[in-house]
Structure 1
């Protein structure tokens, strides 16, 4: 599946054929991504990325998650999607990361906008959440820029290598998204 965002930007469902490129991108961006993503130390070789993608495919088949590669100017520059989809409650949680070199082009803001459109129109969800570490200003700027409501802070929500970080939870309801359109 492809979700076109702009002429030079689109999302494509992740596949096992992406493993090499995604691993190389992760490896090149390792020190940059490690500041806020806890899984870098568990992604040391190609097989780790392959296993991650296999999990993504299983989640897609079970309709409990949906992961995309972000393609900008015909190159994969990151990953975004629905880390969880809860069909019973009609809620999904968006997660994302972008390589350091792809920052500053509005890629992630536009990507999350496209994911919101997909969540509310195609999946017919009622709510989308984004959680970000309290100190991660770049990640938090995305839901703030898009008009999400800050719903609260979860204390010590994630172990980040040698310390816990709080998560700020942002939410957007389908009715709010419709009003903002």
Structure 2
């Protein structure tokens, strides 16, 4: 699957062939990403990225998740998609990360906007959530920029290496999204 956003930016289903590029990107941004992502210490070699991609493919085949590489100017710069899709409740949870060097181009805002369109138009979902650590200002800026509603805070939602962090839960309903278009 491929979603073309503009002449510089596209999303594509992650593939096994991406393992080397995804690992290299992860490794190059390791310290930057580690501040808010709990899996960096478990991604130590290409085989770890390959195993991650295999789980992404299994999730896609089961229709329980969707992981896409973010391609900017013909290079993979991050991952975005639906960490969980619940067909019974017609909901999904968005997750994303972007390399440090790719920041500042509006990539993630455009990416999440494209994911919202896909969720509501193609998957016919009713609600999309984004959860971000309270202190993760950059990640929280995306749903805030796209007019998501803050639905609450989950205390001690995630273990982040040496401490728990609270998550802010953002939600967007299909009818709210349509009203914004």
TM-score band by shorter chain is over 0.9
- Measured in 2, the distance between the counterparts of 1:15 and 1:98 equals 18
Q: What are the within-5 Å matches in structure 2 for residues 131-146 of structure 1?
A: 131-146=131-146
Question: Equivalent residue for 2:49?
Answer: 49
The Cα RMSD (Å) is 0.3
User: Aligned residues, how many?
Assistant: 181
- Measured in 1, the distance between the counterparts of 2:162 and 2:24 equals 25
Q: Secondary structure at the match of 2:37?
A: coil
TM-score (normalised: structure 1): 1.00
Deviation for aligned residue 1:44: 0.5
Question: Equivalent residue for 2:97?
Answer: 97
- Measured in 2, the distance between the counterparts of 1:94 and 1:137 equals 16
Question: Equivalent residue for 1:79?
Answer: 79
Q: Secondary structure at the match of 1:95?
A: strand
TM-score (normalised: structure 2): 1.00
For structure 1, which runs of at least 5 residues remain unmatched after alignment?
none
Deviation for aligned residue 1:123: 0.1
For structure 2, which runs of at least 5 residues remain unmatched after alignment?
none
Question: Equivalent residue for 2:117?
Answer: 117
Deviation for aligned residue 1:146: 0.1
Q: Secondary structure at the match of 2:101?
A: helix
Q: Secondary structure at the match of 2:89?
A: coil
Question: Equivalent residue for 2:169?
Answer: 169
Deviation for aligned residue 1:55: 0.2
Residue 128 in structure 1 maps to residue 128 in structure 2: yes
* Structure 1 runs of 4+ with >4 Å offset: none
Residue 10 in structure 1 maps to residue 6 in structure 2: no
Deviations 1:89-144 (A, max 9, x none): 00000000000000000000000000000000000000000000000000000000
Deviation for aligned residue 1:70: 0.1
- Measured in 2, the distance between the counterparts of 1:82 and 1:3 equals 14
